[in-house]
Amino acid sequence: FDDIGKVLDLKVITPLWQKDQREYLDELLKSKFRFIITSVTTGGLDDSWLGKEITPEDVKRLTGLGSQYGFNLSFEGGEAETFVIDCPLFSSPIKILKANKIWDGYRGRFEITEAILDP
């Protein structure tokens, strides 16, 4: 990215690349960010993670799984994707009413088909 930035005369800013990923996730949760996992594409993460809201206990579990299976704890390599359902920036949390889990035995996704703002 730095090389491309130089060619285009752009400054590359990567605030998460030098940050401890465990500390980052802990900070998000302490800051009242609520998020779910919407896709998984790596060993160590099965369909039970799809649609799961991440808690401090889950961060501990993910830390161990990340070490064991070699994935980035905050999924910066595309091992999983997340969806924020509430945070201090939102006027209302998002309430998921309907969703489908799609799993092929190794990877899967949580497709939200109906959601509302929860007053």
- Answer whether residue 14 is part of any domain: no
**Radius of gyration over every alpha carbon of the chain, rounded to an integer in angstroms:** 16
Q: Return the SS3 of 44.
A: coil
Counted domains in the chain: 1
Is 62 contained in some domain? yes
Tally Cβ neighbours within 10 Å of residue 23.
Answer: 10
- For 80-93, the pLDDT digits (tens) are 999 999 999 999 99
Asked, for residue 8, whether it belongs to a domain, the answer is no
Task: Specify the CATH number for the domain of residue 78.
Answer: 3.90.1490.10
Determine the length of the chain.
Answer: 119
pLDDT in tens, 26-76: 999 999 999 999 999 999 999 999 999 999 999 999 999 999 999 988 887
Write down the pTM of the prediction.
Answer: 0.85
Contact 109, 102 (CB under 8 A): yes
Q: Provide the domain limits for residue 53.
A: 20-117
The pLDDT confidence band at residue 17, using thresholds 50, 70 and 90, is low
